């Protein structure tokens, strides 16, 4: 991984969208919970950032994953290509670099497509599962 250039590193992203989910950290335990709420800039159909090139200047909380800091992001899912390679594991069959199909991550059910909500879509106190009406 350390020998990859920026373009090769970027190609590792499978566009699952999981790193763009809002997270909360329990101050007592340090445990990180991942929510079904996405960054406001995530295109929920393609699981890509609509402001990718400008993301760090527009969204100060956006984190850049690099070979040097990958170990800091313990919340990355086990399916994440960056995490997999840093742990010495191979890419899965559904990864676009393996399958040759950019939609394989979605058809395999790995991405957040169809399972998340854009930031601002859900009001505080909103009960998603309230079917009493």
Nearest to 98 by CA among 113, 108, 88, 86: 108
- Asked whether residue 28 is domain-assigned, the answer is yes
Confidence of residue 114 (pLDDT cuts 50, 70, 90): confident
Counting the structural domains of the chain, the total is 1
- Asked whether residue 121 is domain-assigned, the answer is no
pTM of the full structure: 0.82
Confidence of residue 123 (pLDDT cuts 50, 70, 90): low
Rounded mean pLDDT, 3-17: 92
Angular region, 26: left φ>0, alpha ψ -120 to 50, beta rest: beta
Confidence of residue 1 (pLDDT cuts 50, 70, 90): confident
- Asked whether residue 127 is domain-assigned, the answer is no
Rounded mean pLDDT, 38-55: 91
pLDDT at residue 120 in the model: 63
Rounded mean pLDDT, 21-45: 90
Does 53 score more than 70 pLDDT? yes
- Asked whether residue 46 is domain-assigned, the answer is yes
Distance CA 11, CA 101 (A): 13
Domain encompassing residue 40 = 6-114
Per the model's pLDDT, the better-predicted residue between 29 and 133 turns out to be 29
pLDDT at residue 132 in the model: 46
- Asked whether residue 123 is domain-assigned, the answer is no
């Amino acid at each position: 991984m350390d020998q990859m250039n920026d373009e090769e590193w970027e190609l590792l992203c499978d566009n699952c969208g999981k790193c763009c989910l809002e997270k909360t950290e329990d101050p007592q335990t340090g445990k990180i919970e991942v929510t079904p709420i996405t960054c406001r800039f995530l295109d929920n159909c393609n699981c890509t950032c609509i402001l990718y090139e400008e993301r760090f200047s527009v969204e100060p909380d956006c984190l850049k994953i690099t070979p040097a800091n990958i170990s800091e992001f313990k919340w990355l899912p086990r399916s994440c290509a960056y995490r997999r390679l840093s742990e010495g594991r191979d890419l899965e069959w559904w990864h676009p670099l393996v399958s040759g199909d950019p939609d394989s991550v979605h058809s395999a059910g790995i991405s957040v497509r169809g399972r998340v909500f854009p930031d601002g879509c859900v009001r505080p106190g909103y009960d998603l599962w309230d079917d009493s009406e």
